[in-house]
Every structure is written in structure tokens, then in C-alpha cells.
């Protein structure tokens, strides 16, 4: 298992001594300062810059259950909720211990779970699919001690995948106009999106998620490829973002609580591999938006919007260092303006990737077919000036052993690679902040137990999906007023 904490800091190599006094031999040129293994400080092109790295530590916690496609949230009490498969796992001691708090209203076999904690009301949501036609939404207002829930019928056309839920402020237009938000309505708008074969469907709840009567298909937008989409994001000004899976990075936006939607395109300079699983949007405390995705060259890229999603940069910013040549599952969250954190699984030795499958067929983007020595690790990137013209990104390879050895399947069905099926990690990870601006990450570990301790693990050893939570131990808060965070005592 990986170490409990990884301390990051600047380590300079000493310059060699000059020649002896009186020696005519010119002094040797001092070596350039170098960073420790697995630490990168880069500019907007992914290349190194001469900036001192941020000092941070990260802690890891084994949730004790399988956890592919995990989501997480943190309530104001500090309790962490990790949701994957049919269980809601809770830790109120910073990941030292975990317990299943699903309750009878939330505990059943699921096809595609999702969890969300409302940062305003502390309501915890657990969303699960029952079969392909009905979903179940349950919620708790007491840190998971008790739950309520209701089924939500998706109609005659089956749900395909990717049920998502989020909450956000009411606006002064659309569903929020004319006093519609009254004492009879929940404090925040609750959004629920899923995809059918026809595209993305999004609904707004006025009663805290008990019913969803307003909404429908996002007609006329970038949903013609089946409608797989990333997480829902709502900004402090009430703007809502949904990211569809299309070749050119695209964001679908609503500024009236889901009454109407428009879409915006960006990132044509780097594009995306197709089919792409997820891109994600984060918004800061001033409602600036940051859209990240995996580019066609497998790097992680970003476009920014400072006008509530109306316009976006067309020249993309590279977040990941150029040394990382394959990446999947990018996630992002933001605190104050320009202060963002991103996580993804990345590989520095993916040059060994074969551009064909094991049967010799051309690579179609569904899987990263790989030779046995390719390994993916958990990377975490911070920027404290992401809105600047030339932002600086501080990246660390946080896991000390691989998260996956061999390839990662991105197909919605199944892939076969060296060592059998590599569909173990499914489609996404998750990242969120607590009220202090501390970063928490949920991911599935494909190289767990014996695989993590072997000297030379092989793909057949890396087919687990253990739920792992990672969080910032010490380092800068993403809320500037908080300053530096210390380890929990």
C-alpha cells in the first residue's frame, strides 16, 4: 500500500566546487537546480518554469470497499462521504475509519451511482440506477444518520449512463423569477441529468430533490453522440454547466436554473480523443469558470471563462507537464479566483503504448492498449494564479505505487488487454473542497494489495478497483484568507 503521506518541497542540488586555487583550468559550470522525482513546476505550455514549488503533503485512506466511479463530498461537520457501487461510506475522523451508512433507503445493487453534498445546506444525496429505466434518489440532512428517498422513472427509453446530480443558487431569471423561490421551495435548486440514447436530459427540482417536474432533453445542442456527459457544476451566481462528450471541447450552460440552455465551444487547437469519457468544469467564488479535458495528445488542458460561460478562451492552456504523455479522468475544483486544483491519472512511460489492440486492429480511442511496463499514477496539480496570462502549475506524482499497470479501458462496454479485462476503473474519479479549501480526491486503485508491493507488477496483477480517498495534509488552502493548512491533529 502507498505511504501514508508524501511530503513535497524544493530540493536543490549543490553546485560542484571550483578548481583548486591557482589552477589554470576554468571552473566547471554549476549544475542547474533540479526538482525531486515526481515534482513539476510548469507554465501554460507544460514546460518547466523557474518558480519554487509549493510545499504540500498528501494523505491516503483505504475506504475498505471497491470504489470504481467514486464520488465524494464533505459536510460542514467535516464528515466525508464516499459513494460508489451500492454503498455510502462515511468517515468523520479524516479517513482513519469508515462505516457504511447507506440505510435501507439507499442500499441496493446499482448500475451507476453518484453522490453529492450541497455546500449550502449540507444535504447529502446518493443517486443510483435501478436497471435501465428507473433511478433512485435518496438524501440525508443529518450526516447520514437517516435517509429519505424517491424513485424517478426515466420513461420508456432506457437510461444509457452517467446519472449526475448537483445543487446551486437560485437566479433572478427563469425558474427563479417573479418570486417563484418562496418559503415553499428548497433553499437551493437541485439539478439531475442523465443520458438516454437520444441525448442529455436535465431537470430542476424545487423541493430539494423529492420531485423533478421541470426540464427535459437539451434539444439542438451538442448531444448527438449518445449524450454521455460529465458532472454538473453550479457557480455562485447560479450559472449551471454540463459537459457533453464530443470531439471538440464543449460546455452546455444555463443562466436561468435550467429553463433554457446554450452551448459554447473551445479548445479546437488541441481537440480531444474520441470517444472522450469526461471533461469537467469548476467555478470559483467570483463565478469564473475553468473547463478541463484530456487533449488529443493525451495532455490535460484548460479553457477559462470570466463572463459566466458566455465566452471562452480559444487558445488552450496545458495543465499537465509535458513529461506526462497519457492521462485519463481529469477532475477539477476551485476556491478563490485563480486558485484551482486538478487531479488525473497519468503516465510518464506511455510511449510504450501500442496504437493497435491485441488483435492488431487500429486503435479507436476506446482503450489505451499498452505494453506491460506502462504504469499510471495519481497526479495532483495546483495553481494559485490560474487566471493570469501565464499561470504556473505545481504538479506532484502523489501515489508512490501505480494506480494501474498496463492499459485503462475507456469503452462503455469492455476491453481486453494483456492480463484480461482492463475495464476495472470504469469512467471517472472525483475531487472537491471542504469549507477550509482543503482538497479531497476519490479514486479507484487498480494496483492494490500484492500488486502495490511487487517489484515489477504486471497488468494481470492490476485489475482491482479499491476505493481510496486522498486529501491535502498540509499546504495552501484554495481560499486565500485561510492561508496554509496544517495536518489534522
* pLDDT value, residue 172: 87
Write out the DSSP string of 440-478: EEEEEESS-THHHH-SS--GGG----EEEEEEEEEEE-S
Query: Out of 103-117, 138-152, 236-250, 307-321, which region has the weakest mean confidence (pLDDT)?
Result: 103-117
* pLDDT value, residue 112: 78
**Most confident among 221-225, 312-316, 410-414 (mean pLDDT):** 312-316
CATH number at residue 377: 2.120.10.30
In a domain, 14, yes or no: no
pLDDT band at 418 (very low <50, low <70, confident <90, very high): low
Give the strands of the sheet with 240-242, arranged side by side.
233-234, 240-242, 250-254, 262-265
In a domain, 31, yes or no: no
Please provide residue 69's backbone torsions phi and psi, each rounded to the nearest 5 degrees.
55, 55
Q: Kindly report the average pLDDT of the chain as a whole number.
A: 84
In a domain, 138, yes or no: yes
Instruction: Please check whether residue 42 is in contact with residue 321, taking contact to mean a CB–CB distance below 8 angstroms.
Output: yes
Number of domains present in the structure of the chain: 1
- Tell me the C-alpha to C-alpha distance, in Å, between residue 278 and each of 244, 304, 344: 8, 17, 11
pTM of this prediction?
0.89
* pLDDT value, residue 151: 73
17 pLDDT higher than 70: no
In a domain, 17, yes or no: no
Question: Kind and range of the H or E element at 452?
Answer: helix 450-453
Residues of the domain holding 221? 40-485
Instruction: Tell me the per-residue pLDDT of 181-209, one tens digit each, with 9 for 90 and over.
Output: 555 789 999 999 988 766 888 999 999 99
Task: Report the DSSP pairing between strands 404-405 and 375-383.
Answer: antiparallel
Instruction: Tell me the per-residue pLDDT of 305-363, one tens digit each, with 9 for 90 and over.
Output: 999 999 999 999 999 999 998 899 999 999 999 999 999 999 998 654 444 333 334 44
In a domain, 28, yes or no: no
Query: Out of 65-74, 360-369, 374-383, which region has the weakest mean confidence (pLDDT)?
Result: 360-369
In a domain, 453, yes or no: yes
* pLDDT value, residue 355: 46
415 pLDDT higher than 90: no
Instruction: Tell me the per-residue pLDDT of 20-79, one tens digit each, with 9 for 90 and over.
Output: 334 455 555 555 558 899 999 999 999 999 999 999 999 999 999 999 999 999 999 999
* pLDDT value, residue 24: 54
Rg value, the chain, Cα? 23
In a domain, 397, yes or no: yes
Burial (Cβ within 10 Å: 0-12, 13-18, ≥19) of residue 4: exposed
In a domain, 20, yes or no: no
Amino acid at each position: 500500500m502507498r505511504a501514508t503521506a508524501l511530503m513535497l518541497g524544493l530540493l536543490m542540488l549543490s553546485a560542484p566546487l571550483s578548481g583548486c586555487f591557482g589552477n589554470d583550468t576554468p571552473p566547471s559550470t554549476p549544475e542547474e537546480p533540479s526538482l525531486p522525482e515526481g515534482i513539476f513546476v510548469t507554465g501554460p505550455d507544460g514546460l518547466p518554469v523557474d518558480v519554487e514549488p509549493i510545499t504540500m503533503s498528501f494523505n491516503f485512506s483505504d475506504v475498505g470497499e471497491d470504489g470504481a466511479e467514486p464520488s465524494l463530498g464533505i459536510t460542514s461537520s467535516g464528515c466525508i462521504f464516499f459513494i460508489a457501487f451500492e454503498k455510502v461510506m462515511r468517515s468523520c475522523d479524516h479517513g482513519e475509519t469508515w462505516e457504511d451508512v447507506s440505510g435501507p433507503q439507499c442500499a441496493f445493487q446499482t448500475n451507476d451511482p453518484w453522490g453529492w453534498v450541497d455546500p449550502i445546506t449540507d444535504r447529502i444525496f446518493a443517486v443510483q440506477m435501478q436497471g435501465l429505466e428507473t433511478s433512485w434518489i435518496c438524501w440525508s440532512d443529518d450526516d447520514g444518520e437517516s435517509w429519505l428517498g424517491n424513485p424517478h422513472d426515466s420513461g420508456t427509453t432506457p437510461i444509457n449512463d452517467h446519472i449526475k446530480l448537483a445543487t446551486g443558487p437560485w437566479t433572478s431569471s427563469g425558474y427563479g423569477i417573479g418570486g417563484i423561490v418562496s418559503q415553499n421551495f428548497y433553499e437551493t435548486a437541485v439539478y439531475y441529468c442523465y443520458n438516454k440514447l437520444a441525448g442529455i436530459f436535465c431537470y430542476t427540482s424545487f423541493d430539494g430533490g423529492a420531485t423533478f417536474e421541470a426540464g427535459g432533453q437539451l434539444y439542438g445542442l451538442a448531444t448527438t453522440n449518445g449524450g454521455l456527459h460529465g458532472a454538473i457544476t453550479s457557480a455562485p451566481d447560479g450559472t449551471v454547466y454540463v459537459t457533453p462528450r464530443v470531439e471538440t471541447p464543449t460546455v452546455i450552460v444555463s443562466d436561468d436554473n435550467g429553463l433554457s440552455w446554450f452551448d459554447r465551444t473551445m479548445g479546437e487547437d488541441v481537440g480531444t480523443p474520441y470517444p472522450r469519457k469526461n471533461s469537467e468544469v469548476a467555478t470559483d467564488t467570483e463565478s469564473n469558470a475553468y473547463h478541463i479535458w484530456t487533449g488529443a495528445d493525451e495532455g490535460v488542458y484548460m479553457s477559462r471563462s470570466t463572463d459566466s460561460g458566455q465566452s471562452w478562451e480559444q487558445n488552450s492552456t496545458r495543465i499537465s507537464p509535458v513529461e506526462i504523455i497519457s492521462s485519463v479522468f481529469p477532475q477539477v475544483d476551485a476556491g478563490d479566483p485563480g486558485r484551482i486544483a486538478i487531479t488525473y491519472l497519468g503516465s510518464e512511460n506511455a510511449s510504450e503504448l501500442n496504437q493497435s489492440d491485441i488483435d492488431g486492429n487500429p486503435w479507436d480511442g476506446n482503450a489505451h492498449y499498452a505494453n506491460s511496463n506502462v504504469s499510471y499514477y495519481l497526479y495532483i496539480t495546483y495553481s494559485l494564479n490560474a487566471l493570469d496570462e501565464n499561470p504556473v502549475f505545481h504538479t506532484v506524482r502523489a501515489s508512490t505505487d501505480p494506480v494501474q499497470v498496463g492499459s485503462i479501458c475507456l469503452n462503455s462496454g469492455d476491453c481486453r488487454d494483456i492480463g484480461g479485462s482492463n475495464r476495472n476503473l470504469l469512467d471517472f474519479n472525483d475531487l472537491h473542497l471542504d469549507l477550509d479549501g482543503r482538497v479531497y480526491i476519490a479514486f479507484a486503485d487498480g494496483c492494490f494489495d500484492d500488486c502495490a508491493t511487487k517489484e515489477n507488477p504486471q497488468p494481470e496483477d492490476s485489475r482491482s478497483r479499491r476505493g481510496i480517498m486522498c486529501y491535502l495534509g498540509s499546504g495552501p488552502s484554495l481560499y486565500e484568507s485561510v492561508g496554509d493548512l496544517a495536518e489534522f491533529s
